[in-house]
Chains A and B, each alone.
Chain A
Amino acid sequence: MATYCYDGSFEGLLTVIFRAFEHRSIPEQIISTEYKQLGLLASAFTVNTDELLAERVLRGIDKRTDNRGSRLIYHMFLSEQDGAEMTIFHLVKNLVDKGDILSNFGNPYVAKAYQMDKMIGREVHRMHAFVRFQKVADADMYFAIINPSCNVLPLIGEHFVKRYADQKWIIWDAVRNYGIYYDLQREIFIEPDHPLLKTLVESSKQEDCYQQLWVDYFNSVNIRERKNTKLHLRHMPKRYWRYLTEKHSR
């Protein structure tokens, strides 16, 4: 039993899994260097990310699961739920020991895996819904900020590319401080120092007008006789209001 330490990347985690199998050991915990606490340093085993080994682990998983497994554990990883790393490890170990058990929802690791998958799936769906673009003044560019509870950016780009194929856009994750930029050809991930971000001057008169029309519309379609605050909050938790045009501007 040992604590394994990795660089926080998906490939890093897969390398940890490879090393643990190599050592025939079950990690006591797997932690990202970012979260490494001083007290643990002494006994922690730091694993250097190796993309080739990571690839081998992924192929091994997919071979056993009819190509379903790698996507599932990627989602689990991006869900950032407590204990995701160890659940992924145990799931992989179960797959190696018992074969394809992904349809056995009675298995505790499979059940947990799908819970995490569901969690991030819900967040992806929420972001499909809650992204609110603003047109940048004097530029043919749309900009949106989100604060998702999971790391959804790698999973939502494709949806917006299909939908907004004819407009340039940026979606910025304010929690994780990075974004996706679509330049009409392809999507690229951008960091806070990207020069494009400095050119984003907020709002124009025309933009304010459409935002106001949307807020008016939102208020007009409400039926007062049916007021149901509990339901409203369940569908639109307050934590998302900050970047929702129709909820923050009042």
Chain B
Amino acid sequence: MSSENPPPVGKKRKSIKEISPIDAYKLLPKTNCGECREANCMAFATRLVNGELMLADCPPLHTLEYQDSLENLSHLMAPPVRTVTIGTGDRAIMIGGKYVLQRHDFTYHNPSPIAIDVHDLMPEAELLERIRHIEQFSYNYIGRTLVLNAIALRSVSGDPVTFSRAVQRVAAASTLPLILCTLDPAVMQAGLSEVSRRRPLMYAATEANWKQMAEIALAHKVPLAVFAPGNPALLRSLVRTLMEYGLHDLVLDPGTFGDDGLSDTVSNFTEIRAAACKQFDELFGFPLLGVPLTVWTGAELSEDVLKWKEAITASILLSRYADMLIMHSMDGWVLLPQLIWRFNLYTDPRKPVSVEAGVKTFGRPDPRSPVLITTNYALTYFTVESDIKAANLDCYLIVVDTGGLSVESAVAGRYFTADAISHALKNYDVGSLVSHTTLIIPGLAARLSGETEEATGWKILVGPKDSSGIPQFLREHWQPENEYK
């Protein structure tokens, strides 16, 4: 890729892919003290530039002696998109900290937090109920709990006293990080003074109010969002001005247009992130805030249609560089795909997608326990594992090395075959574990049943297509008393 004009702002820097372990090693203490538990400083440097360790993992660096080294290393390793922290304590969230435009070039850090809105004219009971929902919404996905991350409190009243009271209520009801949303500096001042120690994000500085908002943010030392809908040039100007003002914890909202203007939204987010990651443009080197909630300000449509639009807008923004989202819908069908896609997008694309092959034991299986088989694609394995554990089953699960392919792909690609199953049964000496010779294969591998019976001499039972059906399948079809040799 080539660009026709020179970088606008910022000196020549190396991208994370160009930084070599030697670059980092030169700036480390080079004492091989081992306090980081690595073999030596070079090993530490290698893992540092790989994103596996942080500067904080090298204790000597943080002593007076190495002050200059730390500063130089911090500069070397700084992501082109700054990291901004919102909230304090255990539930604080970090946003931004991105090194690359595309995840395959390194990996994305700091999964985009999702904030849900409440407003200052909500009746107290409704407000508390909504906060309770935000706190409780969660989904267990391959062993991880996916949750919502923040509350965005909007001033609909425009009244400082009303807003201040609402801020107190929300702060008392939840320890989640807060975003205080009002474009009126007087309202902001009133609300912020209640919770400034919790480091909320101020939303937002605009062309009209930037000076007063800057003063408030400076006085309270809290991060400030900058709002310039559909106007990247204005956004840059505001950022420049606010940086001159002494503010460095900024979050950029280029405007989210879910209907007309969706294309501009995608273009703006992309342009800004490309400028930061490819040109090291410092004025655009801040986290981006997407607000799918804005679809609710458009045409009057049925609620489900608006929710549908919000779901789609949110997913587009997650893929297109939003480092944080503010949403309105609390419906599971709107939020679930966002939480899962966010989790997926922020996995490390350099990590293998497979788990180790072999025989896994669940519960306390005996010789009459069922034997199941699956592939070593990580998501396949963890899904099956979750289902077996959830049902407290006692069984053996054979994991076949299919090169990290799912059952369906591995059957189609001839990695999960009668021969592969036969090899696995022999290699792992499965016959010695149980007193029967019945193997349950995935429903998606049903076509292999005949060949597999021939190749292995085992009786093949075709299990369910989805592993959630395993408990019921075993109840209905597993009769160990008939299975003795």
Decide whether A and B assemble into one complex.
no
Chain B residues with CB under 8 Å of chain A are none
Chain A residues with CB under 8 Å of chain B are none
